[in-house]
Amino acid sequence: MTNSAHFAFKLRALSVKAFALAFAFLPITHMLHAQTPTQLEHLRIHALQALHIDNPLPPLAPHTFATFDATSNIRIEHVTFATQYGMRVPAIVYIPTHLKHKAPAIVVVCGHGGDKSSWYAVYTGMLYATAGAVVITYDPIGEFERSTTRASEAGEHDKLIPGLTHTEYVGGLMIEDVLQATRYAAARPEVDPTRIVLLGYSMGSFHAILASALAGPQLPRIRAVVLSGGGNLDGPNEYWDSNPKPNCQSGPYKALNFLGDRGAVLYALRARSGPTLVLNGTEDSLITKFNEQEPFFVTLRDHIAAITGARTNLPETLWFPGAGHRPSWMTRPAAIWLNDQLHFPNWTEPQIETFPTIRANDWIAKTHVRISHGYQVEQKEGGILAIDFNLPGLTREQLTAVPETLWQKDPKPYTLEGWTPHVLAADQASQ
């Protein structure tokens, strides 16, 4: 590393530390006063620095490896795009084949154990491409094509990296991946860049809401966000601080302590661009652990409004009685809300009201698409009533973006192992 690069890392680290110290002794109520747009933008910039997210983001440099028709109405593309340190993100894109006008786009942000081969990623891609949207699904770092073993549920991003003193680097990468996927969606020729939605599940809900909060004015507007199995950005020592996932969840959240009331500030930043819908089950133990049901969100909305000075784009909530941890955005009420935001080319609300549904477990049994271990139970993902169009599944080979011979020749641009030397050098330079 050059002396100038080393100095830049030092300077950025010092500015983050100074900013954090400036707020360390202020009560949380400090952030409950109305913030001007300039003040909110100042907080956004420092949050990017605290999470080591590139600003500006690197060039996308997209590459398409292959295309094929999944149905007569849906084309599949195998692609990659760039992220931190020249790394590549393998992705599957679902594209309606009979578009007459620019289409909306949906980016799926997976949860723990999830990747683009997960049943809900495949189903979402097929379902909303049927509606007329372009859907982007991709592998989180450390899973499937971004794992040294090429396995799903590898969980590599959960393992502490020896020598890395700031665990928030990993979460920062995962949030940067969301931003890059959003930019990639907006850059596609079929897509209307004013109609982009993020769908985040569990861990992905955390990364999606942070990405939507930290997306700056130079990035495409994120029209709407849907969070399922999450959205409960809570206070000190509660779920997002205390969960045993320091790399991708608790570390990044703690790194944002300088924001004060972190959940309210992040939602205030998000509110500048558009609405958010939170879909949770009343029996989701991850969400209800700290009694974070509707009363929590009522208070959260009041805190957000105190910061923004308005009650615009406050997070909406929809609760599924008796449901546990699951991605509920392929259900009828979620589809209606999404249609209201995106105006699907092929669907209307009266049509959505009449569509049949299918239990997720029944579709999985029919297509043999992968579901994470332990989530096929009725209360969790297996019991979701998804809108049904008799959609086919895809094989693991069809969900592999990079030709395996090319990947085997040099896996480093895709994997956590390939990213690690870069982040260790950056971490050492910031000391």
* CATH label of the domain that carries residue 262: 3.40.50.1820
What own/partner pairs with CB < 8 Å and gap ≥ 24 does 41-49 have? 43/259, 43/265, 43/269, 44/213, 44/214, 44/216, 44/269, 46/15, 46/16, 46/19, 46/258, 47/210, 47/213, 47/214, 47/256, 47/259, 48/214, 49/12, 49/15, 49/16, 49/19
pLDDT band at 31, cuts 50/70/90?
Answer: low
Is residue 153 assigned to a domain? yes
Is residue 297 assigned to a domain? yes
Give the pLDDT confidence of 75-121 residue by residue, as tens digits.
999 999 999 999 999 999 999 999 999 999 999 999 999 999 999 99
Q: What is the rounded average pLDDT for all residues in the chain?
A: 93
| Predicted pLDDT at 4 | 37
Is residue 142 assigned to a domain? yes
Give the pLDDT confidence of 238-269 residue by residue, as tens digits.
999 999 999 999 999 999 999 999 999 999 99
| Predicted pLDDT at 33 | 80
Q: How many CB atoms lie within 10 A of CB 317?
A: 20
Give the pLDDT confidence of 364-378 residue by residue, as tens digits.
999 999 999 999 999
pLDDT band at 64, cuts 50/70/90?
Answer: very high
Q: Of 306, 325, 323, whose CA–CA distance to 314 is shortest?
A: 306
User: Does residue 26 register a pLDDT over 70?
Assistant: no
Q: Of 231, 257, 235, 309, whose CA–CA distance to 32 is shortest?
A: 309
Total domain count, the chain: 1
User: Does residue 42 register a pLDDT over 80?
Assistant: yes
| Predicted pLDDT at 289 | 81
Is residue 5 assigned to a domain? no
pLDDT band at 3, cuts 50/70/90?
Answer: very low
Average pLDDT over residues 334-345: 98
What own/partner pairs with CB < 8 Å and gap ≥ 24 does 240-243 have? 240/206
pLDDT band at 23, cuts 50/70/90?
Answer: very low
Q: Considering the chain, what percentage of its residues have pLDDT values greater than 70?
A: 93
Is residue 6 assigned to a domain? no
Q: How far apart are CA 265 and CA 267, in angstroms?
A: 5
pLDDT band at 143, cuts 50/70/90?
Answer: very high
| Predicted pLDDT at 425 | 97
pLDDT band at 145, cuts 50/70/90?
Answer: very high
Give the pLDDT confidence of 273-329 residue by residue, as tens digits.
999 999 999 999 888 888 789 999 999 999 999 999 999 999 999 999 999 999 999
Is residue 4 assigned to a domain? no
* 25-34, 188-197, 225-234, 262-271: least confident range: 25-34
Residue range(s) defining the domain that contains residue 83: 25-429
Q: Of 391, 205, 423, whose CA–CA distance to 315 is shortest?
A: 205
Average pLDDT over residues 389-398: 98
Is residue 100 assigned to a domain? yes
Is residue 17 assigned to a domain? no
pLDDT band at 430, cuts 50/70/90?
Answer: confident
